[in-house]
Chain A
Amino acid sequence: MLTRRIIPCLDVRGGRVVKGVKFAGLRDVGDPVDHAKTYEQQGADELVMLDVSATPEDRETALETVRALRRALSIPLTVGGGVRGVETAERLLLSGADKVSMNTAAVTEPGLLTRLAERVGRQCVVLALDAAAWASGEGWEVVTRSGAHRTGIDAVSWARQAEQGGAGEILLTSWDRDGTQEGYDLSLIAAISRAVRVPVIASGGASCPEHMARALDAGASAVLAASIFHEGRYTVEQVKQVLSQCGVEVRR
């Protein structure tokens, strides 16, 4: 039986891990490799590195970070953020990413997910789906460019379309919850998980293991979190202990 995955996320800029609410007010919280190794030792099932570079120089540094993480890590590594096309995705994979996630480019360039899946296999292709509630309050729309652009595209139909197009997984971030620590958007998770058969990774809003248990209960295959781990409030091991007590099957 497949276990549920716990995935710490590192937001990386200029070779350092940063943290900020909705990418505003970033602060340095340490070295990516140090963080990654600690998480692996604690039992992290996978790691996501989100490249939040602001400049082309930062992008080159990010490739170095991917190489350094690969040398150090014996668990799967997903890299996302600013992946504009097949070429960038392939560079990341060759540098050591096992999977690449795409948001904005997948929306603005129809067929990109499919072309990438045909090149590298769908197991390497992750759709990063950032969603925010419609102004009306019913359902969610896709947001891109780090939340700056509301696309007017329905999140549930985009998830279905991306799955058919070649996405092997969906990294689902609630833009309403990200950084709030109020817990994941459970109805969003349930709606997307029902719509697709590929695994859904829940992201945005976790501040305790109970939030994670609820997200998994709502249909997520995996949960992603950043600050809960970076700030040392819980170790991955502690989270897994709580989840295990809640009856969730985890790798220990």
Chain B
Amino acid sequence: MRVTIIATGIANTASVEAAFTRLGVEVEHTTDARRVEQARAVVLPGVGSFGAGMDVLRTLGLLEVLPERIVQGRATLAVCLGLQLLCRGSEESPEVEGLGVLDTVARRFPDSVSVPQFGWNRVCAGEGSRLIEDGHAYFANSYRIVSLTGHSAPVEGVGKPLAGARGSDWVCATTDHAGRFVSAIERGAVLGCQFHPEISGPWGQRLLGRWLAMADEGVGTC
């Protein structure tokens, strides 16, 4: 079993790599879109800002490859900003169009709470979840997805949802920071985490282990 990490060049992936190595799998880094298309298990790591992240995905030619993997439910893990890139857009870079897999927009936490959200917060698994369990996860984020079910008002200039993208068929885990937000999503073998599973202790290791097992079974691959 091998995990393919997208080498964005702007994200530090040492911790992600270490976590998978501890789980006994091989890790490779790639900038090759074909590799991303074919790989069994792909990780989109948390990268700097939303705009810079989309720039990298465009440069690497991943604007179609990644959404396709995700729509097909093939083993893909999106971490932190990686999850936000799946949205239509983000308040962080209002002029930039996201991948549009999720019909929502990432928004900044209100100033009533500490921003960035730094530290361990409780994740509550959604109903029907196969990957996420209740537990504490390590967060480091200023933006988050409030809801996937289309309640979020449009942001001026932000792109349209991908054809077929819906909110309702994702199982969402939630966490409370200025009210509940979506801290993880799962569908098939696709897992998106607003937190960092790679540094979320034994709980995070177990989560990555379950995702690997699902990738290994080939869930979602046709």
- Residues in chain A within 8 A of chain B (CB atoms): 1-5, 40, 45, 70-71, 73-77, 93-98, 120-124, 168-169, 197-199, 221-222, 251
Contact = CB atoms under 8 A, between A and B. Distances in A.
B23 to A, nearest CB: 10
Given A93-B14, A95-B14, A197-B114, A74 B199 contact: yes
B31 interface: no
B21 A40 contact: no
Interface of B: 12, 14-15, 18-19, 21-22, 48-49, 114-122, 136, 138-141, 176-177, 196, 198-202, 204-205
A60 B19 CA distance: 24
19 contacts: A1-B177, A2-B120, A2-B121, A70-B14, A71-B18, A73-B18, A73-B199, A75-B199, A94-B14, A95-B14, A122-B116, A123-B116, A124-B12, A197-B114, A198-B118, A199-B114, A199-B119, A221-B119, A222-B119
Contacts of A199: 114, 118-119
B128 to A, nearest CB: 25
A121 B199 CA distance: 17
Q: State the majority secondary structure of interface residues on B.
A: mixed
Contacts of A40: 201
A173 B120 CA distance: 22
B21 A76 contact: no
B120 A3 contact: yes
B93 to A, nearest CB: 14
A2 B198 contact: no
A75 B201 contact: yes
Contacts of A120: 12, 48
A168 B14 contact: no
Contact of A121 (B18, B48, B136, B204): B48
A74 B138 CA distance: 10
Contacts of A2: 114, 117-121, 139, 177
Instruction: Give the residue among A5, A75, A121 with the most B Cβ atoms within 10 A.
Output: A121
Contact of A70 (B18, B122, B138, B140): B18
B14 A123 contact: no
Contacts of A96: 14-15, 18
A221 B118 contact: yes
